[in-house]
Amino acid sequence: MSANHMETTLNNGVRMPLLGFGVFQTPPDETREAVAEALRVGYRLIDTAAAYGNEREVGEAIADSGVDRGEVFIETKVWISDFGYDETLHAFDKSAGKLRVEMIDLFILHQALPSAFEKTTEAYRALEALLADGKVRAIGVSNFMPDHLERLMETADIAPAVNQVEVHPYFAQPDVQAADADRGILTQAWSPIGGITAYRDTGTGSVFEDPTITRIAEAHGKSAAQVMLRWHLQAGRSAIPKSVKAHRIAENFDVFDFTLTADQTAALDALDTGVRGGPEPEAVTLEAFGRDIPEA
Ligand code: NDP
């Protein structure tokens, strides 16, 4: 396996690996081993969130890995229940405490709260303060639609470095990607190999079984997941596939030894169904999605 890393430079000059490792729905008792395996294989970007309930185990795996802290790019997300200036400053202490780090590389607002947008902007103001204090190296957002970005930038001083949104061949959100690019924001794909089309009934069928993708995969002697990851990387997108299985953790990192042709990329681009797998960002409310995030 190639140990190559594709890196990108964020809009504030910070370097970040494009390919990372996700842990959404990874049970806490499996997180340590999954993250340890990912670090062994060569991943140097780990994505977690306060709401995933496994930051502590992510932190343990990193601390015990033998990999220098400075070589691992850690990103985590503030849940909407902790939005507000003071609340979000405290959310940093909770996450950093569980992760056992002084500094978080990328700190992200997990969702916009469209029905209480002032809470979103206050939370973002706290991110800007954490950045100024050197407690985080970059700040970002997740599931922000173009109008959320526009509303955010009416009060924000610093553009987010990253917008982490659902992107896979069946739901590519070209409008969001264009809005991100216009503002110099890196699009980071969640469910990058379309896991959500397999673990949730989105009505589109599983992207892993898409005949266009499996045909391209066969042509390269690669898997469908590897083709999708290559599609992201060649477009300059960050991608954070999740697995708890060692062979898939390795498979999803073994994507640096082949190149999709322009025709193959266009064929993947053409698979977009416009069907969202995740929650409708405009409909996220504290009432429906709020939950307590425990102290460190
Ligand atoms: P992914 O696209 O990463 O797919 C993960 C699913 O696919 C799992 O069920 C996994 O099962 C399976 N899988 C992994 N590798 C392969 C493979 N090579 N071949 C076949 N199946 C495979 O989906 P996720 O939704 O987990 O997204 C990835 C990450 O993005 C999350 O872990 C999280 O960090 C982030 N995320 C962020 C969200 C947000 O709102 N900001 C929302 C959702 C995700 P198994 O583990 O058994 O291998």
Q: Tell me the per-residue pLDDT of 249-290, one tens digit each, with 9 for 90 and over.
A: 999 999 999 999 999 999 999 999 999 999 999 999 999 999
Domains by residue range for the chain, with CATH: 17-197+237-244 (3.20.20.100)
pLDDT digits (tens, 9 = 90+) for 221-239: 999 999 999 999 999 999 9
Which atom of ligand 1 is found nearest the CA of 208? 20
By residue count, the chain amounts to: 296
Q: Is 52 a catalytic residue?
A: yes
Q: pLDDT-derived band of residue 129, with 50, 70 and 90 as boundaries?
A: very high
Phi-psi region of 146 (alpha: psi -120 to 50; beta: other; left: phi over 0): alpha
Q: Is 3's pLDDT higher than 90?
A: no
Instruction: Count CB atoms within 10 A of the CB of residue 13.
Output: 9
Residue ranges of alpha helices (H) inside 174-261 are 174-182, 195-199, 211-220, 224-234, 246-251
Q: What is the pLDDT of residue 282?
A: 95
- The backbone torsions φ and ψ at residue 190, rounded to the nearest 5 degrees and listed phi first, read -95, 155
Q: d(Cα 103, Cα 136) in Å, to the nearest integer?
A: 5
161 within 8 A of 185, measured Cβ to Cβ: yes
Ligand 1 site, residue 192, Cβ cutoff 6 A: yes
pLDDT digits (tens, 9 = 90+) for 24-46: 999 999 999 999 999 999 999 99
- Protein residue closest via CA to atom 26 of ligand 1: 242
Percent of the chain with pLDDT over 70: 99
Q: pLDDT-derived band of residue 2, with 50, 70 and 90 as boundaries?
A: very low
- The average confidence (pLDDT) of the chain is 97
